Amino acid sequence: MGDILIKILVCFIAGAGAGIGTGFAGMSAAAVIGPMLITFLGIPAYDAVGIGLISDVLASLVSAYTYKKSGNLDVKNSIPLLVSVLVVTMIGSFVGSLLPEQAMSGTMQIALIIIGLRFLLKPVNKTREQLAAGSPKSRLIKAIVGGACIGFICGFVGAGGGMMLLLVLTSFLGYPMHLAVGTSVFIMAFTALTGGISHFVIGGMPDILCLALCVVFTLIWARIAAKIANKATAKTLNRVVGAVMIVTSVVILAVNHL
């Protein structure tokens, strides 16, 4: 009984952190869930990543739907990026299976802190007019190249996909902040599903109770966070996104190394 309560508590905390990160910043749920399950429940790293990716699917979909209702989702122009990410995610997932006990990289968390500081110190202030004025050909090339990099990271370590998507959408494709987060979670739903299925096909089914708990808790908190984010100003959302990235990374580094 005690072990089950501990499992529920760990999954609740992991799901809450993952859901808030997804809803506010379009982050991958696996970036939070993976280290928590590995450290506190002793779940094998490859299984933990798979649970995090599947938890990301519904959370990202409900977040994307919330952003879409507020007009902050660009489906049409995100397709090349989505296809590129999906194809390379499967490759990254296979490569990751060769190192099943590799936990989340500290380098990834440091990168997340740096990107979080970027949003805090230099907020994204792009407009939809500026986005529309850009070269379609240039945007297409950047989307394909950026998607390939994102897909490999997401498939290999089960984390970093959302972070990199947000960076590519805002810094390279010129998306406004709300539109970038909404489009990011839309793409992450498909990349997470692809990566999660690949993990389970290669490594087998993980702990079913942990999977169910993480999916439910992540979904609930992602919905709450997305609703709040869509009501915030672009400046506030920049600050929240930066803060969420930094706090999440610091906590994960502490969990892994303390």
Helix (H) or strand (E) holding 211: helix 208-231
DSSP state of 76: G
Does 231 score more than 80 pLDDT?
A: yes
- pLDDT in the model for residue 248: 76
pLDDT score recorded for residue 255: 67
State the Cα torsion 99-102-106-109 to the nearest 10°. Answer: 90
Per-residue pLDDT at 99 exceeds 60: no
Contacts of 137 (CB under 8 A, 6+ apart): none
Mean pLDDT computed over 174-191: 90
| Closest by Cα among 80, 88, 51, 11 to 204 | 51
pLDDT tens digits, residue range 128-143?
877 777 778 888 888 8
Q: How sure is the predictor about 61, in pLDDT bands with cuts at 50, 70 and 90?
A: very high
pLDDT at 103 over 50: no
34 alpha carbon, distance to own chain's centre: 12
pLDDT-derived band at 229, boundaries 50, 70, 90: very high
Q: What share of the chain is helix, strand, coil (3-state, %, to 5)?
A: 85, 0, 15
pLDDT digits (tens, 9 = 90+) for 190-199: 878 877 887 7
pLDDT for position 158: 54
For 122-171, what is the HEC assignment?
CCCCCCHHHHHHCCHHHHHHHHHHHHHHHHHHHHHHCCCHHHHHHHHHHH
Q: What is the pLDDT of residue 102?
A: 47
Outline where DSSP puts E strands in the chain: none
Higher pLDDT among residues 60 and 28, named by residue: 60
Q: What are phi and psi of 8, to 5 degrees?
A: -65, -45
Residue-wise pLDDT for 108-127, tens only, equals 667 778 878 888 888 888 87
